[in-house]
């Protein structure tokens, strides 16, 4: 893991207030960018909500607004989500620029490799949820019990269903990054990951059962299947690299 006894090359003693001021400046840059992109996305936010609703409200499913401000609030949520997604590269850079003086060269290389790769995996997971999982899952969930009640969903709940599932799938796609860091730091070995994989699968399934309220168990099974595939692939890659 390298020698970490020496001081990082650009590290220097600085007053606490200087660190706080720099952190505030970098946070301000990020927040301003997120808000600017969010405001710029306002003209297309209505179309975005229409696409989102279409993905959830399948044939025979109604979309409702239960409070006077619900549609506007859903628009704001979508605009902020757009701003955060677009600002991800800047967030990565600002975090690196703040930490870089105190990092060793190997830690800098690890950050520049792992964090952008993690962001790409997050977007890939969200894309998989949007393109594959939601179109298959939404009709099943929304038509369960349609012989008893008429299916309808509020636009705010539709947003959180889509956004939540995309975010969860993005987190599942972080498995290779988490395992790579664990192996690199010496916390685990590829052999121990392989031996204890059934515990990992069971724990993840129980976790998704708590986080995802789905009585059909479809979303939990889909997320767990993706987790298992990524876990197995990550262990095989770790074995080859160690």
In terms of Cα–Cα distance, which of 136, 206, 201, 199 is closest to 175? 201
pLDDT bin (cut points 50, 70, 90) of residue 127 is very high
Half-sphere exposure of 123 (CA within 13 A, CB side): 12
> Is residue 180 within 8 Å of 233, Cβ to Cβ?
no
Domain spans of the chain? 13-154, 174-242
Q: Which of 9-13, 16-20, 50-54, 110-114 has the lowest mean pLDDT?
A: 9-13
pLDDT of the residue at 106: 80
pLDDT bin (cut points 50, 70, 90) of residue 104 is confident
- Per-residue model confidence as pLDDT tens digits over 50-97: 888 888 877 667 778 888 899 999 999 999 999 999 998 899 898 888
Q: CA 156, CA 49: separation in Å to the nearest integer?
A: 10
Return the structure tokens found at 20.
């706080």
Q: CA 125, CA 149: separation in Å to the nearest integer?
A: 33
CA 108 to chain centre: 23
Residue 135 has pLDDT above 80, yes or no: yes
Can you tell me which residue has the tokens 């019990």? Answer: 145
In the chain, the percentage of residues whose pLDDT exceeds 90 is 25
């Amino acid at each position: 893991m390298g020698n970490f006894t020496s001081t990082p090359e650009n590290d220097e003693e600085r007053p606490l207030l200087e660190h706080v001021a720099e952190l505030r400046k970098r946070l301000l840059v990020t927040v301003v960018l997120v808000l600017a992109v969010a405001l710029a996305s306002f003209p297309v936010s209505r179309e975005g909500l229409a696409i989102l609703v279409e993905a959830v409200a399948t044939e025979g499913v109604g979309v409702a607004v239960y409070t006077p401000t619900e549609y506007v609030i859903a628009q704001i949520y979508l605009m902020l989500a757009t701003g955060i997604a677009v600002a991800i590269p800047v967030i990565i850079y600002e975090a690196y620029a703040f930490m870089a003086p105190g990092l060793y060269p190997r830690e800098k290389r690890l950050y520049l490799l792992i964090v952008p790769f993690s962001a790409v995996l997050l977007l890939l997971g969200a894309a998989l949820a949007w393109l594959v999982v939601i179109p298959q899952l939404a009709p099943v969930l929304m038509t369960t019990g349609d012989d008893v009640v008429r299916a309808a969903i509020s636009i705010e709940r539709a947003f959180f269903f889509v956004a939540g599932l995309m975010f969860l799938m993005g987190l599942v796609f972080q498995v290779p990054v988490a395992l790579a860091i664990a192996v690199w730091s010496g916390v685990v070995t590829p052999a121990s990951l392989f031996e204890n994989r059934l515990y990992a699968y069971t724990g993840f399934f129980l976790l998704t059962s708590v986080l995802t309220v789905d009585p059909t168990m479809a979303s939990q099974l889909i997320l767990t299947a993706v987790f298992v595939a990524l876990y197995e692939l990550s262990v095989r890659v770790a074995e080859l690299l160690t």
